[in-house]
Amino acid sequence: MQFEERVDGYYRSIILQTSEWVNLIYNTHMSAKKSILMNENQQKAVNHKAGPLLVVAGAGTGKTRVITERIKHLIEKEKVKPQEILALTFTEKAAQEMLDRVGDIMPLGYEEPWIYTFHSFADRVLKTEGLEIGLDTSYKILPYPEQWLLIRQNLFSLDLKYYLPLGNPTKFISAMLKFISRLQDENISLGELKDFADKFDGDEDEKKRWQELAGAYKKYGELKMAGSKMDFGDLITWTIKLFKERPNLLKKYREQFKHVLIDEFQDTNYAQYELIKLIAPADNLAKRSLMVVGDDNQSIYKFRGAAVSNILEFQENYSGCEMITLLQNYRSNQPILDAAYKLVTNNNPDTLESKLGISKELVGMKGKSPVKPRAIELETLEDEVEWTMQKILEIVASEPQYTYKDFAILARANSHLDPFVLGLRKYGLPYQLVGNRGLYDREEVRDILALLKVLVNPLDAISLYRVLNIDVLNIPHDEISRLLSSARYKKTHLWEVLSESTHPQIQALQKVLGDFRGRITKDTPVQIVYQLVSNINYLNPYIEMETVENQMTIKNMDLFLNRVKKFEIDYRNETKEIPTIVAFIDYIELMIQAGDNPAQAEIEDIETINLMTVHSSKGLEFPVVFMVDLISNRFPTRNRTDEIEIPEDLIKETLPAGDPHIQEERRLFYVGMNRDRHQDGAG
């Protein structure tokens, strides 16, 4: 049955388990990987001489190893200088892993090749060469929340009308930023947008809206340049601009990088591909090489601008391109691979298989009676959570080779994991959210923010109520109820009622707040946060009992304090003044309004069940995988279009023939299914 038909109308889980034999040939540890002989196609990719090469690498086929072994081969066998090698990937973690792997297989003291993310590479080029096109090379890179804040602070200078509703002036800030980001992904210049707006042939109000957006795009760019600031999209577009306007610099980098390697090529956007084509043009590869490694079936970042058409059209852009397919999967058993493959072939004809007439059916590790993926239908979400908890307990009890860290619960969105967090807490099972945002949602961080808000504004009744309920303050619940009732009866502020209380814990709290209120303009935010937490002994209960949850709490508090330190440093650098706690509270409230919510703490190498989104799971593997909450409008999720969409006339990437949203949902589910890893035991 089709994937969409299978999940519609039911709460379902899929549990993917390993076969009964130990995978002695391959596992994820680097020491084991060193001892494995590469298969024929991997070796062909490593030994590639010159010209363009497309390596179609399915899930678990060892693509990262191919890239690192090729770098080693080029340096040791082909005598290529490390500085003549450029390898680009998508995350700092992936770039660092690649550097570490190359370091593991290279002798001590070797010169490192250029291994960067796209944005880090562009940043290095612009910091070195940006003066050539008038850039201030000491620019600051703005993360999304600070982009939001920049527009919020200058909202009334953008000359907006339709996109500045008086009742809610900030309503369209996020939509405009997403629109600008998509323009950058497509490398659409201000001139192209303005030309489209001025020549728009249609409704006059619609034309004015496009002209308004073009004006906002222009003003936003001016604001960034005036403050020596850039966002991440600027790094790519300005590097393209540099290379196009300064041919001598482009020639310099082309001559330097004789061998270019691109990891996760299916995740590139149109602008990043333009950058690749500038550095390694098709007509300049006779004695050089360009190797791109990717899998169109694992393109799952459309929301970040990824253009799956890049990998689908690579052979057209680089005529005479050699192609190698890696089909030997070293991670999962055959039934799981077959089920995942059957699902993703529904994306034909918008796949490499259809376009190139190749097979991408993965061949898994062979073992005894491999376990098949199971689809479990349950009536309610509560039943699904309960079934999942019981299954985990059953596997741990019956098969001692499994530990808690061997389990992963994958969902389509962070919020879908909440019921499973409650279930794990109910059964006392250790867990952690991996790669998930939500630091400001943590109870401990909300407690400290509430304390700080009351310090700044005692009449903030919501924050004050939260402070009264902080466990370590030991304020009885009946006393809190009495205070609330008294405030309602007297029709006065809760703080005024507190001032009249004779309860010892209430008086102790008032004394602490009074002492710190006298230091608001004297001490820095870091000093106040650190000393306030220490003064009320907030961390004592978490230090006394060493549990995973308590460790996470302490690490999250440390992450929050680091955010306060960063604010303080940035504030001093920008204003040349010492910030107060009032300035910090104003800043953090704006950041939260902008959608800022940093990642929670993670603890590695401990026995915890892993909860994460399918997007976060990419690149990871686990012996037992639960894919949960598989119901209509959740997974596959409902198609949510951007509030402000780029006009089709301006889109440069080639759009698929089929439904791009449901195709991406299939690919995402395919990625989730392929997280399963062999381990001894039937599970």
Predicted local distance difference test score (pLDDT) of residue 52: 96
Task: Say if residue 130 carries a ligand binding annotation.
Answer: no
What angle, 0 to 180 degrees and rounded to 10, lies between the N-to-C axes of helices 581-593 and 525-535?
90
Q: How confident is the model at residue 545 (pLDDT cuts 50, 70, 90)?
A: confident
Side-chain-side CA neighbours of residue 106 (13 Å): 23
Task: Say if residue 227 carries a ligand binding annotation.
Answer: no
357/345 Cα distance (integer angstroms)? 13
Task: Say if residue 60 carries a ligand binding annotation.
Answer: yes
DSSP state of 454: H
Residue with tokens 């809760």: 494
For the ranges 116-120, 500-504, 650-654, the one whose mean pLDDT is highest: 116-120
- Asked whether residue 24 carries a pLDDT value surpassing 50, the answer given is no
Mean pLDDT of 44-59: 94
- Asked whether residue 532 carries a pLDDT value surpassing 70, the answer given is yes
**Strand, helix or coil for residue 85:** strand
What angle, 0 to 180 degrees and rounded to 10, lies between the N-to-C axes of helices 504-517 and 477-490?
70
Predicted local distance difference test score (pLDDT) of residue 12: 43
Peptide bond into 660 cis (omega under 30): no
pLDDT tens digits, residue range 241-261? 999 999 999 999 999 999 999
Predicted local distance difference test score (pLDDT) of residue 3: 36
44-48, 56-60, 289-293, 406-410: least confidently modelled range: 56-60
Task: Say if residue 63 carries a ligand binding annotation.
Answer: yes
278/610 Cα distance (integer angstroms)? 41
List, in sequence order, every residue forming a beta bridge with 13; answer none if it has no partner.
376
Task: Say if residue 62 carries a ligand binding annotation.
Answer: yes
364-368, 651-655, 658-662: least confidently modelled range: 364-368
Please tell me the total number of residues recorded for the chain in this structure: 683
The answer to whether residues 321 and 651 touch, using CB atoms and an 8 Å cutoff, is: no
Mean pLDDT of 216-236: 95
181-190, 344-353, 664-673: least confidently modelled range: 344-353
93/99 Cα distance (integer angstroms)? 10
Higher pLDDT, 657 or 150: 150
- State the pairing for strand pair 322-326/328-333: unpaired
Average pLDDT of the chain to the nearest whole number: 88
pLDDT tens digits, residue range 596-650? 888 888 887 788 999 999 999 998 899 999 999 999 889 999 888 889 999 988 9
Mean pLDDT of 432-461: 91
Q: How confident is the model at residue 27 (pLDDT cuts 50, 70, 90)?
A: very low
Task: Say if residue 216 carries a ligand binding annotation.
Answer: no
Predicted local distance difference test score (pLDDT) of residue 476: 92
**pLDDT more than 70, % of the chain:** 93
- Asked whether residue 680 carries a pLDDT value surpassing 70, the answer given is no
Mean pLDDT of 435-461: 91
Predicted local distance difference test score (pLDDT) of residue 367: 58
- Asked whether residue 195 carries a pLDDT value surpassing 90, the answer given is yes
Q: How confident is the model at residue 6 (pLDDT cuts 50, 70, 90)?
A: very low
**Strand, helix or coil for residue 110:** coil
List, in sequence order, every residue forming a beta bridge with 326; answer none if it has no partner.
57
Give the tokens for residue 118.
């796209």
State how far the alpha carbon of 297 is from the alpha carbons of 61, 146, 180, 340, 585, in Å: 13, 34, 27, 10, 45
Mean pLDDT of 302-326: 88
The answer to whether residues 659 and 438 touch, using CB atoms and an 8 Å cutoff, is: no
Alpha carbon 675 to chain centroid, angstroms: 17
Question: E strands along 202-243, which residues?
Answer: 229-231
List, in sequence order, every residue forming a beta bridge with 609; answer none if it has no partner.
431
Predicted local distance difference test score (pLDDT) of residue 355: 83
Q: How confident is the model at residue 585 (pLDDT cuts 50, 70, 90)?
A: very high
List, in sequence order, every residue forming a beta bridge with 622; answer none if it has no partner.
676
List, in sequence order, every residue forming a beta bridge with 224; answer none if it has no partner.
none
Higher pLDDT, 575 or 5: 575
105-109, 124-128, 144-148, 279-283: least confidently modelled range: 105-109
User: Residue 255 burial (CB < 10 Å; 0-12/13-18/19+)?
Assistant: exposed
Give the tokens for residue 86.
């450029």
Higher pLDDT, 307 or 481: 481
Among candidate residues 272, 343, 281, 207, the one with its CA nearest the CA of residue 670: 343
488/492 Cα distance (integer angstroms)? 7
- Asked whether residue 682 carries a pLDDT value surpassing 80, the answer given is no
Q: How confident is the model at residue 33 (pLDDT cuts 50, 70, 90)?
A: very low
252/518 Cα distance (integer angstroms)? 60
State in Å, rounded, how far the first CA of the chain is from the last one: 26
87/560 Cα distance (integer angstroms)? 34
Burial 576-611 (b: 16+ CB within 10 A, else e): eeebbbebbbebbebbeebebbbebbeeeeeebbbb
- Asked whether residue 508 carries a pLDDT value surpassing 50, the answer given is yes
